[in-house]
Amino acid sequence: MILLVFLLLVTSGSSFAADIINIPLHPVKAPIESFRRVLDDPQLTPPNSTAPEVKLRFLKAEYNAYITIGTPGQVFNVIFDTGSADLWVPSVKCDEDNIACQTHNQYNASASKTYEAVGDPFRVNYPYGGVKGHLSRDTVTVAGIPIKDHVFAEVLEQSDVFQDTSADGILGMGFAHLSVDRKPTVFDKMVEQNLVPAPVFSFYFQSYREDKDESESVLTLGGTNPDHYTGNFTFVDLTRVRMSNGFGTFCKQGCPAIVDSGNTLIIGPFTETGDLNRRLGGIRVLGIPGMYRFHCSRLNRMPDLEFIINGTPLTLTSKEYTMEVDGTCLSAILGRRFGYRKPRYWILGTFFMRTYYTQFDRENFRIGFAKANHSSK
């Protein structure tokens, strides 16, 4: 048996993409000291390779990496998030009482020679909280490559939900029309300043295990890295929404979906994901709405899931859509309640992108999937 889910990949109007957040999956309370970044470990790779790469680390259920802002560089740990298009980091000007800000690295404009004031207000709301601040312009360095004159947000207020994130801020990699006010993204600027060989970037996600801090997950800026996938890419043209048809079990008419590196799980509407998880034999996890678990002994007998994207089936095996956490096998497919009259859509997070190496082709406005090659080393 194979269960089918028909998805349409669409880009949204700006409204719903800004709505997306990285759900902190396992908020861990830790002493404040442990949040302080190790400033002498920026993990910046040299800029000379043709397509520069950023090594992503998996910490507290998030993939993130170091960047610097300003001259000399101030280090920040950020999530490279295809579900949004703005870069923001906490500001040294934030309130002393704002714990989320105080427990993360803060940008100090006065300490940067390349800082320029912009000042326009910035605000973004996610379903689980928001941030507020103002815009500034400075050099942003990613993978050792300085990107000049980038407009980003210094954040002065953050919701408490950000207290528990390992990342200081978010670096939006979404296509620029997702940005709150259509500013160019960091990657747009890299393309504009000829810092990358092609307007394409790709994600390879390796392991979810926290203990594997030497994670091989990488973001390739300016191309794809053939070491990390096998076979050909299946492309989805984002400008053309085509209905899938067939006798699928779920989303027969097709459901809108986005590919979001800033989310870990595969998230969909509450009712549909509940049906799907129960059909797979899932049992509700008490206290976490929309979350299901399975008997680990059943995993081998559970069906594959096919996500049909514009007619192309992309399969996940039971091992690929579940995660084992302390002896419990949890479903990676989580239900979310969408607000009244809000667009309902699926989010293909890093659980999906781990099986399918994903390239974002900004020029042709399309996304390509190829089977990730995890057999290296």
**What residues are annotated to the active site?**
81, 260
Tell whether residue 297 is a contact of ligand NAG (CB under 6 A): no
Could you give the strand order of the β-sheet that contains 304-309, starting from the edge strand earlier in sequence?
Answer: 312-316, 304-309, 2-9, 250-259, 346-348, 266-269, 333-336
- Distance between CA 235 and CA 344 in Å, rounded? 23
Within 185-224, the residues that bind ligand NAG by CB under 6 A are none
In angstroms, how far is the first alpha carbon of the chain from the final one?
33
Nearer to ligand NAG by Cβ, of 84 and 103: the residue is: 103
Residue in this structure with the two tokens 């996890």, named with its chain if needed = 285
Residue in this structure with the two tokens 């670096």, named with its chain if needed = 171
Amino acid (one-letter) located at 374: H
Tell whether residue 227 is a contact of ligand NAG (CB under 6 A): yes
- Distance between CA 260 and CA 63 in Å, rounded? 12
Which range in 105-113, 157-165, 277-285, 289-297 contacts ligand NAG by CB under 6 A?
A: 105-113
User: 367 pairs with which residues across the strands?
Assistant: 236, 360
Q: CB of residue 47 vs ligand NAG: minimum separation in angstroms?
A: 7
Q: CB of residue 28 vs ligand NAG: minimum separation in angstroms?
A: 27
Tell whether residue 312 is a contact of ligand NAG (CB under 6 A): no
Nearer to ligand NAG by Cβ, of 125 and 234: the residue is: 234
Amino acid (one-letter) located at 214: E
| CA separation, residue 198 to residues 56, 272, 359 (Å) | 21, 38, 12
Nearer to ligand NAG by Cβ, of 47 and 343: the residue is: 47
Nearer to ligand NAG by Cβ, of 152 and 229: the residue is: 229
In order, the DSSP letters of 291-304 are -EEE-GGGGGGSPE
Give, as one character, the DSSP assignment of residue 227: G
Which range in 74-82, 107-115, 135-143, 275-283 contacts ligand NAG by CB under 6 A?
A: 107-115
- Distance between CA 172 and CA 102 in Å, rounded? 22
Quote the tokens at residue 92. Answer: 């040294």
Q: CB of residue 231 vs ligand NAG: minimum separation in angstroms?
A: 4
Tell whether residue 110 is a contact of ligand NAG (CB under 6 A): yes
- Distance between CA 307 and CA 353 in Å, rounded? 12
Nearer to ligand NAG by Cβ, of 91 and 331: the residue is: 91
Task: Tell me the site size for ligand NAG, rule CB under 6 A.
Answer: 13
Q: 109: how many CB neighbours lie within 10 A of its CB?
A: 18
- Distance between CA 345 and CA 222 in Å, rounded? 29
Phi, then psi, of 304 in degrees rounded to 5 = -75, 155
> For residues 76 and 107, is the Cβ–Cβ distance under 8 A?
yes
Which x/- pattern over 137-166 shows residues binding ligand NAG (rule: CB under 6 A)? ------------------------------
Tell whether residue 373 is a contact of ligand NAG (CB under 6 A): yes
Q: Of these, 232, 253, 328, 364, which contacts ligand NAG (CB under 6 A)?
A: 232
Question: Cis omega (within 30 of 0) on the bond before 72?
Answer: yes
Quote the tokens at residue 145. Answer: 């490559």
Q: Of these, 92, 118, 176, 198, which contacts ligand NAG (CB under 6 A)?
A: 92
Within 35-54, the residues that bind ligand NAG by CB under 6 A are 46, 48
Tell whether residue 71 is a contact of ligand NAG (CB under 6 A): no
Q: CB of residue 341 vs ligand NAG: minimum separation in angstroms?
A: 42
Q: CB of residue 94 vs ligand NAG: minimum separation in angstroms?
A: 10
Q: CB of residue 136 vs ligand NAG: minimum separation in angstroms?
A: 14
Q: CB of residue 110 vs ligand NAG: minimum separation in angstroms?
A: 4
* Residues of the shown chain interacting with ligand NAG in the complex, contacts defined by CB under 6 A: 46, 48, 92, 108, 110-111, 227, 230-232, 373, 375-376
